[in-house]
Chains A and B, each alone.
Chain A
Amino acid sequence: QVLPPYTEDCQHGMYANHARCAGMPPTFEVNLDQDPSVRWNGVVQHKKKELVAMIGQIKLLVGAISPKIITAVDQYLPELIQKLPEPYGAEIQGIAKASGLPDGEILLFNIFYEIFTV
């Protein structure tokens, strides 16, 4: 159907040639025996540029609603990280440290899926 919602017949043979794919993602090991604050470092080192770009875009969108939200994120969310159950709080702090981004902004990324069910 060439008009919205652009439905089509059931597709065939897509798996063999990886049709409509932009590639396969890399695989990383996260060692649960390591301290939570460093176990994600390998992932962050490889994806730092993309993560910074992503957070930057979220800040632009949220900032467009109100710049005060970003100020609040940087000011208040880091306090909430301490309230998260372990190992999740330490993991978020570790990712923030490895990426060079503020703790609150990494937490913001992590609560996005939770919030947008509204």
Chain B
Amino acid sequence: CTSIVAQDDAGKLYHARNLDFGLFMGWDVKNHTWLITEYLRPLVVNVNFTRGGKTAYKSVNFAGYIGLLTGIKPNAFTITLNERFNIDGGFVGMLEWIMGQRDGHWTSFLTRTVMDKASSYDEAMSMLTKEVILAPVYYIVGGVKSGEGAVVTRDRTKLDNVMAMNTTAGEWYVLETNYDNWTNPPFFDDRRADAKKCMDYSGKKGVGFPSIFDVLSTKPVLNQLTTYTALMQVNAGTLETYIRECPHPCYPW
């Protein structure tokens, strides 16, 4: 996955992501594609959650999947969830949960609960940094005010790191793939460098759906695992989703 929160010259925030999923889950030798990824793409739907006849929040879901991996609460905040690979991963948390230790939240249920209960960026950040969860993940959060953008690196039981957008230092975006921001990504999967190169190339002046879509459409940020690209603008409550395809030659991840 690749998630980006960026702001333009006026401090208007944009949040976008590629959702990549299906690694090592069946390789179609004939078509050179990941099987599960191919099955997931037709399941992509936009969901408008309503309460009292009004929009409470919006998300991009796979039909049949009730957690929230990409969501926007209009005029409040945006969240995306990226996988964080770890040997002490979700498998361990799930086993503990099955064995009866149920104090932890499922990671994508927590994001839905946050969408439901929190009403501001600060409240969302508080919940996403403090609650116990079942799997290590990255929560990427955007708000409505200038500078409200952060990557929350979570261990199952504790907060590992918060990388907030430091606008006083001239930062205008935060970007997360699937590796800790304080380490170098592995040489065989350095989407971070490519995405950053393209963000820096387009520049702060050009920030908007078109420029961020271009970044997320550049290989290998776009790759054979990419199921969809979502673009969100919190003030307008806009959510645009595009089911993706990566023409050959395209890297498998």
Contacts and interface: CB of A to CB of B under 8 A. Distances in A.
SS of A interface (majority): mixed
A83 B109 CA distance: 14
Given A29-B48, A32-B50, A57-B26, A117 B43 contact: no
Interface in A1-57: 2, 4-16, 18-33, 40, 43-44, 46-47, 50-51, 53-55, 57
Contacts of A32: 49-51, 56, 116
Contact of B66 (A15, A21, A26, A40): A40
A91 B66 contact: yes
B225 to A, nearest CB: 12
Interface string B176-201: 00000000000010000010011001
A38 to B, nearest CB: 13
Contact of B251 (A4, A10, A50): A4
A69 interface: no
B66 A99 contact: no
B219 A118 contact: no
Interface of B: 21, 23, 25-26, 35-36, 39-52, 56, 60-67, 69, 83-87, 89-94, 98, 102, 106-109, 116, 134-137, 188, 194, 197-198, 201-202, 209-210, 213-215, 217-220, 222, 228-229, 240-247, 249-251
Interface of A: 2, 4-16, 18-33, 40, 43-44, 46-47, 50-51, 53-55, 57-58, 60-61, 80, 83, 85, 88, 91-92, 95, 99, 106, 109-111, 113-118
